[in-house]
């Protein structure tokens, strides 16, 4: 399978602990995105990378959140000192940067986080 | 901030009925995508529309992008229980550092009863 891969798929953690999610994008894609989705809502943009450069961060991404894409391939999203409000599904997506093509973005299956 | 208003939020119909989901904005998008999402899974791309007025068909699903590229619709003919899911529209902007970032509607939860 050559789609976007995320792990772990599910994570239950105690409040105050740190968690890290990993995303492996489609191999030819140079753009990588992180979104957050809560139940019954559409995904909300968190941040995105072009190659290894982090080009935009949402106001939703507080100081406790950090994302990296060190070699322009896989990415990690770390949440420090988790809070119950962080409980959500964290989605990774990837695409080509192709200005004239409609820039189709493909999503992974998501990583569910439950903070207890 | 660009917003996408999706309606209706919930749709419960019988198998065989037709339905239309709407996605509206006051902003212009360079492209618009429709996704279907099942519980606990990520969104799966159905279609991307790029040109104003464009119509695309995918079996029983018909997608239309408004002439002004501010709105879109998804029409399903003869709905089946397998169509049940969350349908999401999402727009992308051209230009600048926001290029490619998706703005999602809040979704339409469709339930098709046998």
pLDDT band at A36 (very low <50, low <70, confident <90, very high): very high
Q: Is the pLDDT of residue A56 over 70?
A: yes
Asked if the C-beta of B42 comes within 8 angstroms of chain A's C-beta atoms, the answer is yes
Please state, rounded to an integer, the average pLDDT across all residues of chain B: 91
With beta carbons under 8 A apart, name residues in chain A contacting B90: 42-43
Q: Is B78 helix (H, G, I), strand (E, B) or coil?
A: coil
pLDDT at A63 (0 to 100):
92
pLDDT at A2 (0 to 100):
73
Asked if the C-beta of B25 comes within 8 angstroms of chain A's C-beta atoms, the answer is no
The structure tokens listed for A12 are 């239950």
Q: What is the mean predicted confidence (pLDDT) over B57-69?
A: 95
Do B45 and A99 count as a contact with CB atoms less than 8 A apart? no
Q: What is the mean predicted confidence (pLDDT) over A93-109?
A: 76
Closest residue on chain A to B47 (Cα) = A104
Q: Where does residue A116 rank: exposed (0-12), middle (13-18), buried (19+ CB within 10 A)?
A: exposed
pLDDT in tens, B6-45: 999 999 999 999 999 999 999 898 889 999 999 888 999 9
């Amino acid at each position: 399978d050559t789609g976007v891969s995320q792990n772990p798929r599910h994570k239950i953690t105690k409040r105050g602990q740190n968690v890290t999610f990993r995303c492996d994008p489609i191999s030819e894609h140079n753009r990588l995105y992180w979104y957050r989705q809560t139940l019954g809502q559409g995904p909300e943009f968190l941040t995105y990378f072009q190659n290894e450069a982090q080009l935009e961060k949402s106001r939703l991404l507080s100081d406790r959140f950090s994302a990296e894409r060190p070699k322009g391939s896989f990415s990690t999203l770390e949440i420090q000192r988790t809070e119950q409000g962080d409980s959500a599904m964290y989605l990774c997506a990837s695409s080509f940067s192709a200005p004239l093509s409609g820039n189709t973005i493909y999503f992974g299956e998501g990583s569910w986080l439950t903070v207890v | 901030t660009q917003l996408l208003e999706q309606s209706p939020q919930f749709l419960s119909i019988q198998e065989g009925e037709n339905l239309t989901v709407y996605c509206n904005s006051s902003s212009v998008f360079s492209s618009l995508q429709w996704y279907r999402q099942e519980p606990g899974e990520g969104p799966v791309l159905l279609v991307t529309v790029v040109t104003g007025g464009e119509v695309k068909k995918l079996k029983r699903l018909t997608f239309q992008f408004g002439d002004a590229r501010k709105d879109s619709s998804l029409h399903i003919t003869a709905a089946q229980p397998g169509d049940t899911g969350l349908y999401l529209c999402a727009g992308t902007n051209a230009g600048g550092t926001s290029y490619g970032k998706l703005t999602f509607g809040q979704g339409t939860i469709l339930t098709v009863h046998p």
